[in-house]
């Protein structure tokens, strides 16, 4: 039958069930999840924060029929010609690897300037969306510090501070970060169009 | 503008981003996630394992356009007239609560017979699906034992064993469980129709 395939999407978000079912079926079919589909959508998308954010927002709007908000963000390091940038989340297999790689690449660099950039897309009707951008300048620390946040937070020191995002914690980060700045614009937009 | 709403779906599966964005937007809009939509689909669905499984499989097929496999399962306890049954995952706010509640309701019961039942739906083309059922008989332990698995595994002793699913571990569970039995049928089906 041509209706059958070697790829199956598991209709669950229960991680335990995913592990169990993959253990039993994984040898004969490629088991994906709904969450994988968001990732696949984005991997097939563009090479800019805008294109990735738009792909995620459009997919989510199409799937749910509800206004959707997507963010794509990255850390752009001056001495690395803007790397990891749009590839920030694919720079290594986990946060620790990504931070290690970035610090190694920065080992001989004197210019440690960098910026976090975020591009939010608010997709609210078919083919209709608005873009909100935010940027946070700072520099790359010499070693990871702090336990809050995620991603590159332990090695990013925002301008005007001596501590990393991971040391400063959510109250500060959610006020001055790239995402915070973009979301302030989004909130203003929502109030105006309410 | 009537295009805006107080409910927004976040186009991410990154739990850290969800927490951050909710912290910044949560006071003005109700932020949901794609995963929530699978849950909402099922909550609005029927009162049988079959209806729930079908709702999940149909939603996932519609979303991804790929053959989708859903499971709905439950623990049916004889002395509780089949409870928690189809409500197994909603019997309490987490696994510990659900197990506590079930053991309390069983405190005075002598008949501890129970069965795990699973209904898998393989949704492979518009309006086309197959159903695979599996059942595992056993009894409810007097107290939770073991650390493997999830859900009611620590209090379910399968027939022919003295240990709980949570003590027996994945190698045994994935051979004799309700899901294992249903998936054996599914694998046979896949081979026949390949």
pLDDT at B182 over 70: yes
Q: Which of A20-24, A45-49, B161-165 has the highest mean pLDDT?
A: B161-165
Domain count, chain A: 1
Q: What would the pLDDT profile of A155-178 be if each residue is shown by its tens digit?
A: 999 999 999 999 999 999 999 999
Per-residue pLDDT of A61-78, as tens digits, reads: 888 888 999 999 999 999
Give residue-wise pLDDT tens across range B145-167.
999 999 999 999 999 999 999 99
The DSSP line for A107-127 is: TT-S--EEEEEEEEEEEEETT
- Which residues of B, range 99-138, sit inside 8 Å of A by Cβ? 122, 124-125, 128
The predicted structure's pLDDT at residue B14: 83
β-pairing, A156-158 with B7-10?
Answer: unpaired
Cα gap B194→B190, rounded to integer Å: 6
Q: Is A25 on the interface with B (CB under 8 A)?
A: yes
Q: What is the mean pLDDT of residues A130-153?
A: 97
pLDDT category, B47, cuts 50, 70, 90? confident
**Between residues A18 and A81, which one has the greater pLDDT?**
A81
What band does B3 get if pLDDT is binned at 50, 70 and 90? very low
Q: What distance lies between CA A151 and its chain's CA centroid? A: 9
Q: Which of B4, B7, B13 sits opposite A35 (nearest CB)?
A: B13
Poorest-pLDDT segment among A1-5, A11-15, A107-111, B187-191: A1-5
Please report residues of A whose CB lies closer than 8 A to that of B11: 38, 56-57, 59-60, 68-71, 123
Minimal CA separation from B106 to chain A, in Å: 26
pTM: 0.71
Find the radius of gyration of the CA atoms of chain B.
Answer: 19
Q: How near does any CA of chain B get to the CA of A108, in Å?
A: 31
Q: What integer pLDDT is reported at residue B150 of this predicted model?
A: 94
| Domain, as residue range, for B50 | 3-193
Q: Which of B2, B11, B45, B153 to mutate to test the interface with A (most CBs of A within 10 A)?
A: B11
For residues A3 and B124, the answer to whether their CB atoms sit within 8 Å is yes
**ipTM of the prediction:** 0.79
pLDDT at position A27 is 85
> Between B21, B183, B194, which is nearest A25 by CB?
B183
B106 has pLDDT over 70: yes
- The DSSP annotation for chain B comes to -TT--SEEEE----HHHHHHHHHHHTTTSEEEEHHHHHHHHHHTS-SSHHHHHHHHHHHHHHHHSS-EEEEEEEEEEGGGTT-BGGGGGGSSSSHHHHHHHHHHHTTT-S--EEEEEEEEEEEEETTEEEEEEEEEEEEE-SS---SSSSTTGGGEEETT-SS-HHHH-HHHHHHHSHHHHHHHHHHHHHHHH-
* Closest chain B C-alpha to A110 CA, distance in angstroms: 31
Inter-chain contacts counted by CB atoms under 8 A, chains A and B: 176
Handedness of CA A26, A29, A34, A35 (dihedral sign): positive
B33 and A CB contact within 8 Å = no
Interface test with B, best of A11, A17, A178 (most B CBs within 10 A): A11
**Chain A residues near residue B151 by CB distance under 8 angstroms:** 16
Least confidently predicted of A146-150, B65-69, B123-127: B65-69
Contact call for residues A143 and A156 (beta carbons, < 8 A): no
A-chain CB neighbours of B173 within 8 Å are: 20
Residue B193 pLDDT = 81
Among the ranges given (A34-38, A55-59, A125-129, B67-71), the one the predictor scored with the smallest mean pLDDT: A34-38
Partner residue opposite A193 with nearest CB, options B1, B122, B150: B1
Instruction: Identify the three-state secondary structure at position A152.
Output: coil
pLDDT class of B44 with cuts at 50, 70, 90 = low
Residue with more model confidence, B31 or A160? A160
Give tens-digit pLDDT for A88-139.
Answer: 988 999 999 999 999 999 999 999 999 999 999 999 999 999 999 999 999 9
Q: Do B3 and A128 touch (CB under 8 A)?
A: yes
In chain A, residues with a C-beta closer than 8 Å to the C-beta of B179 are: 17, 20-21, 24
* pLDDT at residue A1 in the model: 38
Mean pLDDT, rounded, of chain B: 91
**In CATH, what number is assigned to the domain containing residue A119?**
3.90.950.10
Hey, which residues of A are catalytic here? 72
> CB within 8 A of B116, min separation 6: which ones?
B73, B74, B75, B76, B135, B136, B138, B152, B156, B177, B178
Partner residue opposite A193 with nearest CB, options B4, B17, B24: B4
Which pLDDT score, from 0 to 100, does residue B117 have? 98
């Amino acid at each position: 039958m041509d209706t059958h395939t070697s790829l199956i999407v598991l209709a669950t978000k229960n991680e335990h069930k995913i592990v169990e079912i993959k253990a039993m079926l994984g040898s004969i079919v490629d088991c994906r999840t709904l969450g994988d589909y968001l990732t696949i959508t984005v991997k097939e998308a563009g090479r800019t924060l805008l294109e990735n954010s738009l792909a995620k927002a459009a997919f989510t709007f199409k799937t749910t029929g509800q206004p959707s908000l997507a963010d794509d963000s990255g850390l752009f390091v001056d001495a690395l010609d803007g790397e990891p940038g749009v590839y920030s989340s694919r720079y290594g297999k986990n946060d620790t690897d990504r931070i290690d790689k970035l610090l190694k690449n920065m080992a001989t660099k004197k210019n440690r300037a960098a910026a976090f950039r975020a591009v939010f897309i608010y997709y609210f009707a078919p083919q209709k969306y608005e873009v909100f951008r935010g940027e946070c300048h700072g520099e790359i620390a010499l070693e990871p510090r702090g336990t809050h946040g995620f991603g590159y937070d332990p090695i990013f020191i925002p301008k005007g501070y001596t501590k990393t995002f991971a040391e400063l914690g959510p109250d500060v980060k959610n006020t001055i970060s790239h995402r915070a700045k973009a979301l302030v614009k989004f909130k203003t937009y929502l109030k105006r169009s309410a």
